[in-house]
Amino acid sequence: MSTIIDGKAIAAKLRAEIATEVKILKEKGIIPGLATVLVGEDPASEVYVRMKGNACQELGMHSVKHTLPATTTEAELLALVARLNSDPTIHGILVQLPLPKQINSDTILEAISPVKDVDGFHPYNVGRLMVGKPTFQPCTPYGVMVMLREAGVDLAGKEVVVVGRSNIVGKPVALMCLQQHATVTICHSKTRDLPAKVKGADVVIAAVGVPEMIKGEWIKEGAVVIDVGVNRIGEKKLVGDVEFAAASQRASAITPVPGGVGPMTITMLLYNTLEAAKKAGTGDR
């Protein structure tokens, strides 16, 4: 049986540390502030944005939520981003993805000031990560790396297989593992013989968005499994991209869904917002 890597517990520990730092900053007259922007009425996005706002409040941070109608134009959203860029009470800006189809998300992400880009999605921050000099690191991959560290997994020389190549999860997590000296394979929908790739992995990172598509029998005995997938089945049930029950029979350590990567994502967002506020405080940005 495998160890469960408890994202909720690791997140709680980190949040306590962040709260302490927020207190110290507040004594210097700086209140870390996060602006979240939600366009349209996607129920899942509403849940996430609410969770982010609540988490800010719990840690004593300032948070402002902007909800815009689904019919918002790109120009209107750009105007809001410009306002937030120049608002001194706001240190971090998060525009929830996906955006409605009349809005080009690249245009929006590039309009967010790189010093307020707590999602780490601006090409400047992406490039910094690429050259091994990260500034803001994207929250989900960053959370995965913290979980691996907390679980005592040393990546040097390990075979890491990432399934998924999105800009927000697959690609950046692969880069971060490479930075930690892993040998990284990135798989996607055109990959030939995915089972064989996964079978060779010491560490599997699944970010596909297909419920339980990574089968337990593909997992090498003793491998570490990180399941980024969050798939809603019906009204209430959440499952990952990995067949959890079967995979946990073979893995040495595995993350659950829920309670794995999800809580870490929100925590790293808070961490990045704190860092943004600290930099603003020193004028170092």
Binding residues for NADP(+): 164-166, 230
- Does 139 contact ligand GUE by CB under 6 A? yes
- Does 95 contact ligand GUE by CB under 6 A? yes
Q: Which one of 40, 53, 200, 209 is in contact with ligand NDP (CB under 6 A)?
A: 209
Closest listed residue to residue 147, CA positions, set 203, 211, 193: 203
Q: Which does 99 bind (CB under 5 to 8 A by kind): Mg ion, ligand GUE, ligand NDP, none?
A: Mg ion
Q: Which does 79 bind (CB under 5 to 8 A by kind): ligand NDP, ligand GUE, Mg ion, none?
A: none
Q: What character string, x for contact with ligand NDP (CB under 6 A) and - otherwise, covers 113-152?
A: ---------------------------x------------
Spatial distance between the Cα atoms of 272 and 172, rounded to a whole number of angstroms: 16
Q: Is 106 in the active site? A: no
Give the Cβ contact number of residue 180 at 10 Å.
17
Nearer to ligand GUE, 153 or 269 (CB): 269
- Does 72 contact ligand GUE by CB under 6 A? no
> Is residue 68 a contact partner of residue 39, using CB atoms and an 8 Å limit?
yes
Residues 230-249 that bind ligand GUE (CB under 6 A): 230, 238
- Does 168 contact ligand NDP by CB under 6 A? yes
- How many residues sit in the footprint of ligand NDP (CB under 6 A)? 26
Q: Is 57 in the active site? A: no
Residue with tokens 């089945």: 233
Q: What are 154's two structure tokens?
A: 């040393």
3-state secondary structure of 182: coil
> Is residue 33 a contact partner of residue 277, using CB atoms and an 8 Å limit?
yes
Piece of 56-64, 192-200, 209-217, 254-262 that binds ligand GUE (CB under 6 A): 254-262
Q: What character string, x for contact with Mg ion (CB under 5 A) and - otherwise, covers 4-23?
A: --------------------
Spatial distance between the Cα atoms of 72 and 59, rounded to a whole number of angstroms: 31
Q: What b/e string do you get for 100-111 counting C-beta neighbours within 10 Å, with b at 16 or more?
A: beebebeebbeb
Spatial distance between the Cα atoms of 278 and 28, rounded to a whole number of angstroms: 10
Question: DSSP secondary structure string, 186-251?
Answer: EE-TT-S-HHHHHHT-SEEEE---STT-B-GGGSPTT-EEEE---EEETTTEEE-SB-HHHHTTT-
Q: Which one of 31, 97, 130, 246 is in contact with ligand GUE (CB under 6 A)?
A: 97
Q: Which one of 95, 99, 145, 214 is in contact with Mg ion (CB under 5 A)?
A: 99
- Does 95 contact Mg ion by CB under 5 A? no
Nearer to Mg ion, 76 or 150 (CB): 76
Residue with tokens 């190549």: 165
Spatial distance between the Cα atoms of 195 and 215, rounded to a whole number of angstroms: 8
Q: Which one of 12, 47, 70, 82 is in contact with ligand GUE (CB under 6 A)?
A: 47
Q: Which does 37 bind (CB under 5 to 8 A by kind): Mg ion, ligand GUE, ligand NDP, none?
A: none
Piece of 74-82, 95-103, 129-137, 243-251 that binds ligand GUE (CB under 6 A): 95-103
Spatial distance between the Cα atoms of 97 and 95, rounded to a whole number of angstroms: 6
Q: What is the DSSP letter of 28?
A: T
3-state secondary structure of 3: strand
Q: Which residues bind Mg ion (CB under 5 A)?
A: 99, 105
The residues that are catalytic are: 52, 96, 119
